[in-house]
Structure 1
């Protein structure tokens, strides 16, 4: 593609561990939260495969304007260190820009830092300015999302199909879900893309916590993306995902949550949500006999 060429550099300091920032940058469920540069833009993800050689396709929608199609191809992914991807932006079948995006990640005393170098080619004269504005706004959103994201991880010594099966079976999920001392009382459960789980979590002292999970994506043996509501059709509490990675016959489970607000994130940390979430993953391991 002939036209204009530019090299753009961006950098952000983020109040989150570098591993959390990496998850916010790469996990499709998290990317869906921060991808829209402004509230006037709606981003619809058509396809998302965050792996070397994988592809992501999204549509940016603004009322009264043609959709903008963005294709991302992941070329290199070195967890919490570096990513390289290409990005093709088009509208109505016409390519607006092509870019190579290199991101480097590092931990800092106060959190983490990410630096981006973008090699941009575009036939449009104003695309460089648009890219600076749009990508810069997206990175501001990324930093805000990472700062209210909680990431938990556990290695479960069982094959991935076994771990996956315990999670997506409507008969077994309620048996282990929740921290130690909690039980689940299900009202409705439909574990599929577009499905839901309406249930109460009941503490050892009898306190009832109504929950509603809306499943946005269930990709077999790979990942689950869902929204947590405070009770049936209640207010949004968090956008969450679980991913399952094969690890020499065992399974690394990553559970991530982007809380709806920074205040809710701080409240969750205050009552020990990280420890409680790890208890939930430990209950899963015990349930399948892999403790």
Structure 2
């Protein structure tokens, strides 16, 4: 089993932490940039994240509220300063809302006094893929080496190490799976009906630029949905879905492939629709492939982005 320990080093005004994950860069990038995934792993063990707001665009803001096992909240806020997809992003890391006790403790370790703003920092997150594994490099830049050392001595290494363990255990999918999640501002029943209605599913199914044409759809266990997807380049892709399990409003399970038995390209799809408060629904879509190589090939042709675009189109369709 692959195992990677974090590497912790000090540079001029910078704490550098590295960790390699046994997953392609598309998956690691997703769990770092999707707030639904971030909530599963951010913070040391025992901490939860009741609030994760993540406007992932340059100039956008974020706010993550880490809650300790004792119930103390440690809000982290800032803005996205730079984003280079699948390579890096840079955020400001502000401690404006952290508890006074924490601020005093870190100041004491750093041997400084004054306003808490001096503890603010900038975090650069780099992603490097090699042989199907992804190295994540964190470069946290402080105002000076004194503050850098105060943070380094306050459990920074231990906290990030435990976060990385949670990321690997709770957020990254299995080696032959792809997981996509999105929160929709619509009731569970309405979302379920969008998946089950043969007259309207073609209005939103598929990535941006694709057109879906339904031939037949028999929405029941053992039934099939046979359709084509016309790509932006004019390529026509035959598709067949065979429903294996249906729990009204809650769950779908089906086999998805081209319909050509000679291609042996079927994969399993599980969709959980979880009702949230305020008429919201969490869509959790999981695709399971025959092996890791097939999964990785799907990643390279944009499976995650395609799935996210499809769910985005679903949300736009429901808004209408």
Residues 212, 30 of structure 1: alpha-carbon distance in 2 compared, 3 angstrom cutoff: closer
Which structure has the higher relative contact order (CA within 8 Å, separation 6+)?
1
SS in 1 for 2:30: helix
Cα separation, 2, equivalents of 1:200 and 1:146: 22
1:180 counterpart = 2:240: yes
1:16 aligns with 2:40: no
Would the aligned equivalents of 2:47 and 2:66 in 1 still touch at CA under 8 Å? yes
Match status 1:82 vs 2:110 = no
SS at match of 1:148: coil
C-alpha displacement of 1:128: 2.7
Which blocks of at least 5 consecutive residues in structure 2 are unaligned?
Answer: 1-11, 104-118, 181-185, 206-224, 226-238, 257-268, 315-320
Among residues 37, 40, 56, which one is paired with 1:33 in the alignment?
A: 40
- Summarize the alignment of residues 46-195 of structure 1 with structure 2, pairs less than 5 Å apart: 46-89=52-95, 90-92=97-99, 96=103, 97-121=119-143, 126-129=150-153, 130-144=155-169, 145-146=171-172, 148=174, 150-151=177-178, 169-175=191-197, 176=201, 180-183=240-243, 185=246, 187=248
The 1:141–1:50 alpha-carbon spacing in structure 2 relative to 1, beyond 3 Å, is same
Decide whether the 8 Å contact of 2:28 with 2:134 is kept in 1: yes
Alignment check: 8 A CA contact 1:15 1:146 kept: no
Q: Shift of the alpha carbon at 1:117?
A: 0.9
The answer to whether the 8 A contact 1:34-1:141 is kept is yes
What CA distance in whole angstroms lies between the structure 2 residues aligned with 1:65 and 1:11? 29
Mapping 1:238-257, distance limit 5 Å: none
What's the TM-score once normalised by structure 1's chain length?
A: 0.56
Instruction: In structure 1, list runs of 5 or more residues that go unmatched.
Output: 154-163, 188-196, 228-239, 241-256, 258-264
Asked if 1 retains the 8 angstrom alpha-carbon contact of 2:39 and 2:52, the reply is: no
What is the rounded CA distance, in whole Å, between the counterparts of 1:87 and 1:65 in structure 2? 22
Question: How many residues of Structure 1 are paired with residues of Structure 2 in the alignment?
Answer: 213
CA distance in 2, matches of 1:210, 1:117: 37
Q: Larger strand proportion, structure 1 or 2?
A: 1
2:289 to 250, 258, 269: 269
User: Structure 2 length normalisation: TM-score?
Assistant: 0.52
Computed over aligned residues only, the root mean square deviation of the Cα atoms, in angstroms, reads 4.5
Cα offset, 1:210, TM superposition? 8.9
Deviation at 1:18, TM superposition (A): 1.4
Displacement of 1:43: 1.4
Alpha-carbon distance change, 218 to 9 in structure 1, aligned in 2, over 3 angstroms:
farther
